Amino acid sequence: MRNLTIVFALVLCSSCSKDEIKDYSAENDQEIQAFIADNNLTAQKSSSGLYYVIDTPGTGDNPITTDRVKVSYKGYYTDGTVFDESTAEGVSFNLQEVIRGWTEGITYFKEGGSGKLLIPAHLAYGSNDFRGIPGGSVLIFDIELIYVNYVTENEEDIQKYIADNNLVAQQTPSGLYYTIDTVGDGAQPTLTDNVTLTYKGYFTDDKVFDESSQNVSFDLEGLIKGFSEGMTYFKEGGSGTLFIPSHLAYGNNGASGIPGGSILIFDVALISVN
């Protein structure tokens, strides 16, 4: 597997757009149409010149160009020669990190969907040779969009952490998991309340990234979604743990000291609802 073709395409394309000497657009379009006809494909063409075939529509979300996705793929030329291929498990990347044909093309598939991308050179590597790919090449990819963003990956990792630590957790419709160790017997906060609590925040490798040294007070509506929601399941005097997937925390981009896609775990104790 040579994932360099996909993963490092952003750097390449920045230079290709400046150095491109020949416009292969018309030639590539004829080559793609011939491939489609020869293989009895039903393809759609976008305004950019990209062609795509949807074999399986999928049932999940369509990604947008700023999303992170996991895709399994095989890349080849119109003569069938394979130049790159992932494992069945696929690879994860942000759509802004890849060639333009991928950035656009993957957005036409829903999670779980599969098909083909037929990418002309101006949406890939232009007229320059790159890592064995000749300049002006049409690139074809058989792809399966395994998931969009970290939701599936995070859920699998949270479930594994819970199982490995013999915990009994509840899951909410948002994707948050939580455990209640001490039920508590006081008031239960709403999302608009101010609360006083103690907490320790850590990753699934148990590395601590934040911890209160004393009681602290917060307006719940000013916190990350997973924390705000999670605290509403506790009563005053209660304690437990929140397992927050990245879409309820800092998403794809992360925050200071927190990598994008991170699961955040918090041990919390609710002192009072103010």
Residues with a known catalytic role: 73, 83-84, 99, 125, 141
Q: CA dihedral defined by 224, 230, 232, 237, rounded to 10 degrees?
A: -120
Scan for tokens 């093309």, then name that residue.
105
- Closest by Cα among 259, 260, 270 to 194: 270
Q: Which two tokens stand for residue 224?
A: 């990350």
Distance CA 176, CA 243 (A): 6
User: Degrees (nearest 5) of the Cα angle 77, 136, 48?
Assistant: 90
Q: For residue 270, list its beta bridge partners.
A: 197
Run of H or E residues at 270 = strand 264-273
Q: Which two tokens stand for residue 53?
A: 């075939």
The answer to whether the beta carbons of residues 153 and 261 sit under 8 Å apart is: yes
Distance CA 59, CA 109 (A): 9
